[in-house]
Amino acid sequence: MSTQETPAADDTQADLDRLNSWSGVAELPGDGPVTALEPLTGGAQNLLFVLRRADGTELVLRRPGRHLKAGASDAFRRESRVLGALASTDVPHPRLYASVQDEAVFGAPFSVLEKIDGFMPRGQLPGRYGEDPEWRRAVSFALVDGAARLAAVDPDAHGLADLGRPEGWLARQTPKYLKVLHGYRTDPAYLESENPHVDAVADWLVAHAPKQGATGIVHGDLQFANVMFAHDAPRLAAVVDWEMASLGDPLLDLAWILTAWREPGDPPGSDPQLRPWDGMPSRAELVAYYAERTGRDVSAFRWYQVLACFRLAALLEGSHARALAGKLNRRMGEAFHAYAGWLWEKARQEMAGD
């Protein structure tokens, strides 16, 4: 879902000049001036660069896009705050070396992060991941283990007690995203293609809502596109893109991961995001593993799975609505709409388990 901008050469030179005038550059790992800023792909809302110093040290610089949308800087600041708080935990994440909120330094807030030795899993898996089903199985459990480690972090003890409003967080999710979905109905073209299950799924979620479990830090978008796997072992190298982090029920992070899972009996029409897929554990195995690692009650997990499908479909339909309005590539919007359609069917399948 990346819509990352490509910076012009003159922008990059101006950024280099600004960085080398910034006093904080001396506190970063490495020596000498910043000699290069090379664009990276991967961020949907922010610009990413490899920052290279004169001695060859490589870091990652992250900043909001040059044409800031409302709230973009706030989300960026949230991410930097969470990364700083996670420094003393065992949650795999890129180390935060600097976070500058003064826009006068660089024209926008920015952060400088550790450059992770790893890759974002997409499509055909490389090396042993593609050859060995045991590697794929192992890294699946490692991914869920990352979610379990995050769930174990005490937000109060790490200065994140005010990251969000945990009271009633679970109960707010369905009305919040239903309002988003209903908002798309102002466009007649969208209304013609709206999935007929929207309101029925929302009603089921409200009627079957469980009591919220223990509050924890929720990443909010924990999926293959926001993690990095190590090259040399089936290991989760880092969880990235923390701008949607909040306080709530961490079981939603597990459900969000499992929206990307595919297994026999699922609705047709959506292929696995990674290839090959054989060797991957079942959803049930991963839920049981998470329960063992965290001690959390997963008896109502089916409800969380429906909520994850509902919430992700709402976000994807937003891209579809923008495409219909001419603000996003039409083919991309149609692909997101098709995926949302699969999520509605998966939600209905889970609901039918009553």
Instruction: Tell me the percentage of the chain whose pLDDT exceeds 70.
Output: 94
pLDDT at 323 over 80: yes
CATH 3.30.200.20 domain range(s) in the chain: 9-114
pLDDT at 190 over 80: yes
pLDDT for res 45: 65
The CB-side HSE value for 113 (13 A sphere, CA atoms) comes to 29
Yes or no: is domain 9-114 CATH 3.30.200.20? yes
Per-residue model confidence as pLDDT tens digits over 42-77: 555 688 999 999 999 999 999 987 665 666 678 888
Contact 56, 139 (CB under 8 A): no
pLDDT for res 4: 47
pLDDT for res 53: 97
Sheet of strand 96-100: strand arrangement:
34-40, 46-53, 58-64, 110-114, 96-100
Average pLDDT over residues 287-294: 98
Per-residue model confidence as pLDDT tens digits over 91-124: 999 999 999 988 889 888 899 999 999 999 999 9
CATH 3.90.1200.10 domain range(s) in the chain: 123-351
Compute the distance between CA of residue 301 and CA of residue 254 in angstroms, rounded to an integer: 9
Residue 13 pLDDT class (50, 70, 90 cuts) = confident
pLDDT for res 73: 77
Average pLDDT over residues 316-335: 95
pLDDT for res 143: 98
Average pLDDT taken over every residue of the chain: 93
pLDDT for res 284: 98
pLDDT for res 47: 87
Per-residue model confidence as pLDDT tens digits over 167-180: 999 999 999 999 99
Yes or no: is domain 123-351 CATH 3.40.50.1000? no
Helix (H) or strand (E) run with residue 37 in it: strand 34-40
Average pLDDT over residues 178-189: 95
pLDDT for res 70: 63
Per-residue model confidence as pLDDT tens digits over 236-256: 999 999 999 999 999 999 999
Average pLDDT over residues 315-319: 96
Residue 165 pLDDT class (50, 70, 90 cuts) = very high
pLDDT at 1 over 50: no
Residue 274 pLDDT class (50, 70, 90 cuts) = very high
pLDDT at 10 over 70: no
pLDDT at 2 over 70: no
Phi and psi based region of residue 345 (left: phi greater than 0; alpha: psi -120 to 50; beta: remaining)? alpha
Question: Per-residue DSSP letters for 98-132?
Answer: EEE--HHHHSS-EEEEE--SSB---EEPPHHHHH-
pLDDT for res 8: 54
pLDDT at 127 over 90: yes
pLDDT for res 44: 53
122 — phi, psi (to 5°)?
A: -150, 135
pLDDT for res 146: 98
pLDDT at 153 over 70: yes
